[in-house]
């Protein structure tokens, strides 16, 4: 794939609800980068499976991905736990991962003109998708804190789940995402660990900004 030269590339991997999306959005705004939440694409396919049990096959997915509108990835219907669980299931499939990779790498290496680069977050961004990223962050937090944050988000969205259910679902998803054969979540040696367990969003971003500014201003 042709790669646009002189762009800033930021790759972030993280388990669910660790705050990676929040930091990615802050990074994208501050540095004028295109942001792609790759989990949303797996969620989109996970939802396709739930809604189209009969037609669901690789060609169906390819066609849908080809015609996907980026704005749809912000749709609230992708935020449910049911869709997240389905996403985690379909994302184990190597062929599905390959379909998604092309789409993601296009945006990572050739972001729309008005942006100075790209920031992608997910599970395999550093390990597979944007291995040569200029910045690599592994963002994590304790399971307890992540479950609390996700539970609060679900409450705001009026989703009827107890804290224990949220905790269990995240724990299962962690296990599946970390132990799967293709594109498992793991921290590489060359990525910078950001633990958000005891950090506010602001404090976290300050840390990231210090790291990025140091390199960019050199
Ligand atoms: O990040 P989010 O929780 O929205 O992702 C939903 C699911 O999509 C994850 O649990 C994971 O199984 C899958 N995913 C993935 N690779 C990525 C991003 C997400 O397999 N790069």
Give the bridge partners for 192, in sequence order: 137
Domain count, the chain: 1
Q: Kindly report the CA angle at 124 between 118 and 97, in degrees rounded to 5?
A: 100
Residue 1 lies in a domain: no
Reading the block at residue 11, the tokens are: 């790759």
Could you read off the pLDDT of 130-176 as tens digits, one per residue? 999 999 999 999 999 999 999 999 999 999 999 999 999 999 999 99
Structural domain boundaries enclosing 164: 8-209
CATH of the domain at 125: 3.40.50.300
Calpha distance 175→189 (Å, rounded): 21
pTM beyond cutoff 0.85: yes
Instruction: Tell me, in angstroms, the distance from the centre of ligand 1 to residue 169's CA.
Output: 13
Residue 214 lies in a domain: no
Calpha distance 37→22 (Å, rounded): 10
Q: Which helix (H) or strand (E) holds 8?
A: strand 8-13
Which residues surround ligand 1 with Cβ inside 6 Å?
Answer: 16, 38-39, 42-43, 84, 87-88, 91, 122-125, 173, 177, 183
Could you read off the pLDDT of 18-28 as tens digits, one per residue? 999 999 999 99
Q: Look over the chain and give the mean of its residue pLDDT values, rounded to a whole number.
A: 97
Reading the block at residue 160, the tokens are: 């009827």
Residue 188 lies in a domain: yes
68 — pLDDT class (breaks 50, 70, 90): very high
Residue 118 lies in a domain: yes
Instruction: Tell me, in angstroms, the distance from the centre of ligand 1 to residue 217's CA.
Output: 33
Residue 48 lies in a domain: yes
Instruction: Tell me, in angstroms, the distance from the centre of ligand 1 to residue 38's CA.
Output: 7
Which atom of ligand 1 sits closest to the CA of residue 124?
21
Of 15, 37, 11, 19, nearest to 201 (Cα)?
19
3-class SS at 91?
Answer: coil
Calpha distance 140→97 (Å, rounded): 23
pLDDT at 218: 83
């Amino acid at each position: 794939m042709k790669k646009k030269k002189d762009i800033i590339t930021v790759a972030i991997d993280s388990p669910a609800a660790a705050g990676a999306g929040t930091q990615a959005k802050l990074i994208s705004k501050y540095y004028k980068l295109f942001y792609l939440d790759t989990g949303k694409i797996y969620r989109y396919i996970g939802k396709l499976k739930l809604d189209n049990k009969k037609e669901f096959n690789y060609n169906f997915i390819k066609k849908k991905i080809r015609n996907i509108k980026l704005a749809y990835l912000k749709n609230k219907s992708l935020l449910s736990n049911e869709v997240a669980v389905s996403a985690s299931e379909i994302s184990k499939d190597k062929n599905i991962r390959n379909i998604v990779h092309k789409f993601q790498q296009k945006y990572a290496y050739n972001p729309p003109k008005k942006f100075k680069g790209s920031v992608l977050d997910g599970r395999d961004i550093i390990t597979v998708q944007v291995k040569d990223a200029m910045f690599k962050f592994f963002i994590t937090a304790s399971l307890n804190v992540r479950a609390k944050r996700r539970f609060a988000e679900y409450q705001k969205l009026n989703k009827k789940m107890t804290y224990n259910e949220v905790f269990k679902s995240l724990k299962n998803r962690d296990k599946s995402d970390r132990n799967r054969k293709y594109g498992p979540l793991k921290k590489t040696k060359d990525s910078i660990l950001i633990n958000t367990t005891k950090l506010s969003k602001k404090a976290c971003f300050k840390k990231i900004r210090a790291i990025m500014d140091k390199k960019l201003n050199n």
